[in-house]
Structure 1
Amino acid sequence: MGTPLGDFVRTKRDSTQPESLGLPDRGRRRSPGLRRLDLASRAGISVEYLTRIEQGRDRNPSVAVVNALADALSLDTAERNHLRYLAKISGGECVSHTRPAPAPARREVRSSIRDTLSLLEPGMALVTNRLGDVLAYTSTYESVTAGTGLLDTESPNLTRYVFTDPRARTFFAEWDDIADEQAFDLWLGPSVENAEWLTSELAPVAGPDFTSRLNQHVLPKRGVLRLNHPSAGELSLRREALEVSADAQQLIVYIPADESTAEAVEQLRHRGRRLGGGLRAIS
């Protein structure tokens, strides 16, 4: 059985071309990317040890080995941080019975965060946790997402919507990038809560589009969010995510990236006001 650490190292090795690291092209290979021999040599470890890490048979590499692998793969800062995080949780799998279980994902939004969200009106913003639960949102967020199916359920969840609602593939113009984001963020949530949610609810209905992304550890780009709105047409939104670290939540603010989007959002907001929209906290 593999580990998140091993999966990530193997995926990065397979996607790294030898010439990008200044290594000679050794001709056709049975598998793409960097050979184990080349990566092990660059990291200063044996091929056998690298194989054990990739296959999950060694779950506790030292900090020096993790850093050496990061250097050998020429990982950027975000990838290095993710590699270290995966090394931590992969090692924890072997000794989890000696550690207290992490607290489940917090679904209540503190009053101070709700007040902050209110101050952002009439802007477009929401509060979510790492599982994708939509916990609170401004009236403008509700107006812009109306008719897309995202907020139709009693307990809306962005991750479930992205992977199980066909409307999401139309609503998100760059669906693949959004799917990568939602899968990646699950690694940052409480592991016990994640395991229960994935096993009982999401994985059985989300299919291979979800499981393949979860295991590949694709670090998201998080660029401009492009939407195909059912009535307003194309929208482009910049995003700013503010961490509410004490609650493992995020306050995400959406800012129109161009004038046409700003005008469309304003029209949708006025339409929502006529329907009686207002700040809503799910919890």
Structure 2
Amino acid sequence: MGKPLGEFIRAKRDSLQPESLGLPDRGRRRSPGLRRQDLAARAGISVEYLTRIEQGRDRNPSAAVVDALADGLGLGPAERDHLRYLARITAEGCSVRARPARPSRQVRPSVLRTLRLLEPGIAAVTNRLGDILAHTSGYASLADGTGLLDADPPNLTHYVFTDPRARTFFTDWDAIADEQVFDLWHAPSVENADWLTAELAPVAGPEFTSRLHRHPVPRHGTLRLTHPAGYELRLLRETLELPADAQQLVVLLPADEATARAVERHHHPPEGRLRSLS
């Protein structure tokens, strides 16, 4: 997946205006954002060393250097965590196999029982690749007519970038696209993420690849949906991490009374039982 640490630092430099960090305006620059020499000075390292990091020629900067770069870029907590994560996987030298194996789609029986307790609410078990591994009838009802569950197996990341209906369904499509790409960096392994990107990049195009190398850190705000049935929905997202399985249990809750009423009108009690896609 390229030179993630250097790409992230460069992307953040390009997005910063020197004035926002209290630096003087030095007039016209050949490239946008914060100059490399300014960041090096703020971080207390040499320009040559910063260049090596950005170009992927130095793959093991110390924790102190990583923290100094975070300070120099004025990163918030989520971005700092991501910078440290990228530094770690860069130092580990994550080599990618020619055709990495797809991660397991199995969901533990106890997790499935937990999911049943949430019926008929809107909930699903996913992983950071976007695979939808199991879901409640409420989730299936919400997805009805959107195309989200049409693929076999369904994958939210693939849907967001390749199905035109996703751009209507997700009111804030750009924010959702950023979230899905960001999660790839925190997938069960970099090899698994590369399995998906190898399949997705050729069909998703620059909307996907530009985000992959820009590392946008999402805010995970209220989920806004424009359902093809005519409903405008606002949903809160609660996520329970399942670290032993590298999976997440995601529960969607109405954020207001109008959404609660719309969900109630739209949902029809299922004839079958909980559907697992494992």
TM-score for both structures, normalised by structure 2: 0.94
1:196-253 per-residue CA deviation (whole Å, 9 max, x = no partner) reads: 2322x21111111000001100001110111110013211101111100111101111
Runs of 5+ consecutive residues of structure 1 not aligned to the other structure: none
- Determine the C-alpha separation between the residues in 2 that align with 1:277 and 1:210: 37
Do the aligned partners of 1:140 and 1:269 also contact (CA within 8 Å) in 2?
A: yes
| Amino acid aligned to 1:135 | L
> What corresponds to 2:6 in structure 1?
6
- Aligned pairs for 1:188-267 within 5 A: 188-189=186-187, 190-199=189-198, 201-267=199-265
- Aligned pairs for 1:1-283 within 5 A: 3-93=3-93, 96=95, 105-189=103-187, 190-199=189-198, 201-270=199-268, 273=269, 276=271, 278-283=273-278
1:51 Cα deviation after fit: 0.8
| Cα RMSD, aligned residues only | 1.7
- Determine the C-alpha separation between the residues in 2 that align with 1:109 and 1:282: 9
| Amino acid aligned to 2:276 | A
Aligned residues: 274
1:29-81 per-residue CA deviation (whole Å, 9 max, x = no partner) reads: 12111111110001000011111111111111111111110111111111111
Percent identity for Structure 1 against Structure 2: 68
- Determine the C-alpha separation between the residues in 2 that align with 1:227 and 1:145: 10
Do the aligned partners of 2:182 and 2:217 also contact (CA within 8 Å) in 1?
A: yes
- Determine the C-alpha separation between the residues in 2 that align with 1:40 and 1:2: 23
- Determine the C-alpha separation between the residues in 2 that align with 1:227 and 1:13: 33
- Determine the C-alpha separation between the residues in 2 that align with 1:178 and 1:278: 29
SS at match of 1:221: coil
Do the aligned partners of 1:226 and 1:234 also contact (CA within 8 Å) in 2?
A: yes
- Determine the C-alpha separation between the residues in 1 that align with 2:163 and 2:273: 25
CA gap 1:52/1:237 in 2 versus in 1, 3 angstroms: same
Per residue, is there more helix in 1 or in 2?
1
1:121 Cα deviation after fit: 1.2
| Amino acid aligned to 1:20 | S
4+ long deviations beyond 2 Å: 102-106, 275-278
SS at match of 2:119: coil
